[in-house]
Structure 1
Amino acid sequence: MSIVDPSIQRLGPPPHFPNMNLKICHSAEHPNSNFIESEGGHQVLQKIKRGIQKSQQILNSNTKRPKVLCMIYTVDTPSNTRNLKAIAQTWGRKCDGFIASSNVMNHSLGSVHLTHEGDETYGNIWAKIISTWMYAYRNYIQEFDYFYICGDDTYVAMENLYAFLMSDDVTRLQEGYRDAIYDATIGESSIYTHEMRPRPLLLAAPMMYKRKPVISGGTGYILNRAALNLFGRNIMNPREAQYTNVTSSMEDVFMGQFFLRHGVSVSVTNDFANGGGRRFAGTADNSFSYTPTSDSSKPVMLQRRYGLPLVYGPDTASEQQIAFHLKDDWKRMQKFGFHVSDLMYRYHAVLYDLCQSK
């Protein structure tokens, strides 16, 4: 298996956005919406644009920030390749390193041909995820401080991600702070990772599964170097066969369960400094009309067990939101003749003022 240079230079020269496709910038009018992202979604994006600007000020005032390797899991189909190209031309270039786990090698898209157990199907994503994390563990663990993974239908505000990793919230967690989820779950374990230095961290949107907190994988998740080291050293151990000898699409559940077994719970990632909004959430349109009672991640149970805030409507999205799962708008995109990749470009255009109007 070849080892690629994960630097952004591998993607080639940056695209020229000042003349962005009029379809994205100016021709989004439809009978029910003046924007691809919806009227409400546009309001949410404007809120997050202000957050990105604040994050940029934080980054500009610090001489050192952590290095992040961004990883995408994908497969070579026309639709997925459009998504991956959009990522490689937008937010992917803001990472310190970028690779896409695929079934083909394509340097301009950042993709690497990684093999894994079983078939290349949606129902076998967990095997693909194991292969991707092991590739990072074996080849890049010393090059980066944090490792973020998501699917090819996710948009990421990288300035907000970097600002979060540099925040007091994450610093406290790394220094051993026991948040509500950790106390209620790892407190029952014999493994106390809050005593470890560096402490392994799993940063994501929490989700309840069989009354245990795991991760909601649609918006991706972050491991620090210590967590990746824990995963890489243990996942292939025969004692972990309950995780490795499984064919499943529930990679987020298995990842969360693996880490719980090793004394690491998903950390609370709500933005309490700004009303408790979520840093990992769905699309901007989804956030505008969000009600927690209809969310499959069971936020009501998260509130009851761990005190996580229940947020509604536009307050759902923190202005420091990091990741957006664009799959939420897939049916809407089809209805209006757009693709998820169009929404990816649209978010980028709005958040960074790349269009002359709208």
Structure 2
Amino acid sequence: MRKPVAIIGAGPSGLLLGHLLKQAGVDCIIVERQAREYVEGRIRAGVLETVTTDLMHKLGIDTGLNANGLHEEGFNLADGERRIRIEITALTGKHVVVYGQTEVTRDLIDAAPERGLEIVFEAKDLAIHGADSDAPAITYSRDGIEHRVDCDFIAGCDGFHGPSRKSIPAPLVREFEREYPFGWLGILADVPPCHPELIYSNGPRGFALASMRSPTRSRYYIQVPLTDRVEDWSEDRLWEELALRFDSISERGVTRGPALEMSIAPLRSYVCETMRHGRLFLAGDAAHIVPPTGAKGLNLAASDVAYLADALIGHYRQGDDSALAAYEARALARIWKAERFSWYLTKLMHRFPEDGPFEHRMQQAELNYVAQSRAMQLAIAENYVGLPL
């Protein structure tokens, strides 16, 4: 088989890229290692910047987004008994939309057949060949049959653990990483949110986040040591902890209900600056990871895809490779800004094991400054809604 572009990974970045290329008349194929049910069942973030919603609108795959997306005009930073509201719409003229990454993925997959976008799920033993040559290809097996896709370009949209980045020779890889000494214990439940907007709390009991997926579905997190396991936490224990952290600072207090999902996610900041190797281009989590504190993961992947789609379309429509040559530098400029904001908010709102009274006082001073400074609130709001492409 031959396709102009082979895309590895059927997460949001690969799906968005595939749809954008097909819309522009550039044929492509998406190859995914996991089963469709697994891909659609992954629980991920749900705060979408304009860059992401604009792509969904451009593609016309926005029925679910328009019907069920929650427009948020602010969010809150809390310290003890105080809530500091960041009025993002009043400050920036923009808003974010709460719409789960699970729903975004499902919408993009559902729209693929009618648009002629081919997705191959359960592609095993996936390998990249000749990425630094003029004739790259990918191979995989499915149902015991070997397949090969010859192509002009390969887009590695296969996440942090996928084969794309690992196929780049180690001496060429420029990596930067920070692993955090805690994780997020999360619970998803069909209960109304405790507050109409997100609350990031750094109270006496430590970090917690109150968020939502809909008016009837809530997502909560608390900071836990890396040594904790999900089995260490019963649902009752977690709900009790959440009530202690949010009942006094939220509008409605925590409503309890059966967990749809509970998990612990480690936090890391990671950037692979080698986003191009010959005709292989990395996008999304294959190239960078941000702690979820700033809600940047999916949105950063969307900006990568916007740059890469424009570059590939320019190659095929105008025979212009200047955007392909500039892709890495252009993407990294935005990536590092998002990494900085995510690192800042993580440092501000979490209790680090090595920190003592001085560091806690510094957090308090920073939050006091945020509460009193409209300029500081504007800077936070600009980063939260997403910096321009």
TM interval, shorter chain, is under 0.3
Structure with a larger share of its residues in strand = 2
> Normalised by the size of structure 1, how large is the TM-score?
0.26
Higher relative contact order (CA 8 A, sep 6+): 1
Larger radius of gyration: 2
